[in-house]
A and B are shown apart, each in its own frame.
Chain A
Amino acid sequence: MAHDRATSNPEIWRKASAFGMHGEEVDGMDVLAVRGAAQRAIERARAGEGPTLLECLTYRYRGHSLADPDELRSEKEKEFWGKRDPIKKLAQEIIDSKLATSEELKNIEKKIDAEISESVKNALEAPEPPSEELTKYIWAED
């Protein structure tokens, strides 16, 4: 459900102030913005200066779960957020700043795809938990 149909104030970060806590909102489709806000929050926490409520404005590209046909959200809304793909945005920034070439980024994708294929193959071949160990790990054993 859209958050503004479910809550008295959809600006979640402001709810921190009721407890005297620091809150911040950030573009959740921009990894450098999230990283910047996270670095500030982590620094404060590590120094013992308190917690942070960080609201990252974002959008889920698929349905709630794989059983959800995702027919209820408007195409216009999906298109708006689709243009803000965080991975494409970072790729563009890296290329524009001449920090790496698109070729290098493609090689990273190839490396990842190979790693995932290998993981899937090995996981499919891996053993099921033996049935005689059905109750194992329910209680601490060491």
Chain B
Amino acid sequence: METHVERISNLQDIKKAELDRETGLFLYEDMTLGRRFEDKCAEMYYRGKMFGFVHLYNGQEAISTGVIGAMRKKHDWFCSTYRDHVHALSAGVPSFEVMSELFGKATGCSKGRGGSMHLFSREHHLLGGYAFIGEGIPVALGAAFSSKYKREVAGNNSSDAVTAAFFGDGTCNNGQFFECLNMAHYFCC
């Protein structure tokens, strides 16, 4: 069995997205925002400005930027995990609202009630960070089903929103992951 290091070393080249100036600068800015924001979180956490657990995204920015950056803002839907700050930023939630939420302030995207693991934004179609693993996947499945239902049953042809659910490797041993894979394909195809 290949290790994680061997797998990425032996990965076959797949067709990558095209790189032009505009795309390159957009991707660079979004990834840099994610990295610098998380570094600042660590600083503020150690200065005692945040409470509870804080999970940072350093190293994984290409995923938030690569996926959310290819989707339509305020149209498509996103479900995150407890490692949710950078997904919120990529989805367009202003850094002030995310940082406010981490400080438990009323100006936070969850009105200061959520904190680090429960970022939410109706405006930016972020259907939540979730403290437990796998919780976001069934919510994402419901959002995806509602797009399909609106289009095929309610007759709204403009309903074409796509939903992305983010989760980590540990979640893939969780029952909700398999149940949702089953339903996602069964409802759709």
A residues sitting closer than 8 Å to B (CB atoms) are 1-4, 6-7, 10-12, 15-16, 18-21, 24-40, 42, 45-46, 48-51, 53-54, 56-62, 64-67, 77, 80-81, 84-87, 90-91, 93-94, 97, 99-100, 104-105, 108-109, 112-113, 115-120, 122-124, 126-130, 136-137
Contacts and interface: CB of A to CB of B under 8 A. Distances in A.
A99 B103 CA distance: 39
B153 interface: no
Contacts of B178: 15
A34 B91 CA distance: 16
Given A27-B8, A137-B111, 20 more contacts: A3-B170, A6-B170, A6-B173, A10-B4, A10-B169, A19-B182, A29-B59, A39-B70, A42-B70, A51-B185, A53-B181, A57-B8, A93-B19, A94-B19, A104-B25, A108-B29, A116-B33, A119-B95, A126-B100, A137-B113
A14 B39 CA distance: 34
Interface of B: 1, 3-5, 7-8, 11, 14-17, 19-21, 24-25, 27-29, 31-33, 35-38, 40-42, 44-46, 49, 53-63, 65-67, 69-71, 76, 94-96, 98-100, 102-108, 111-113, 144, 148, 151, 160, 162, 169-170, 172-173, 178, 181-182, 184-186, 188-189
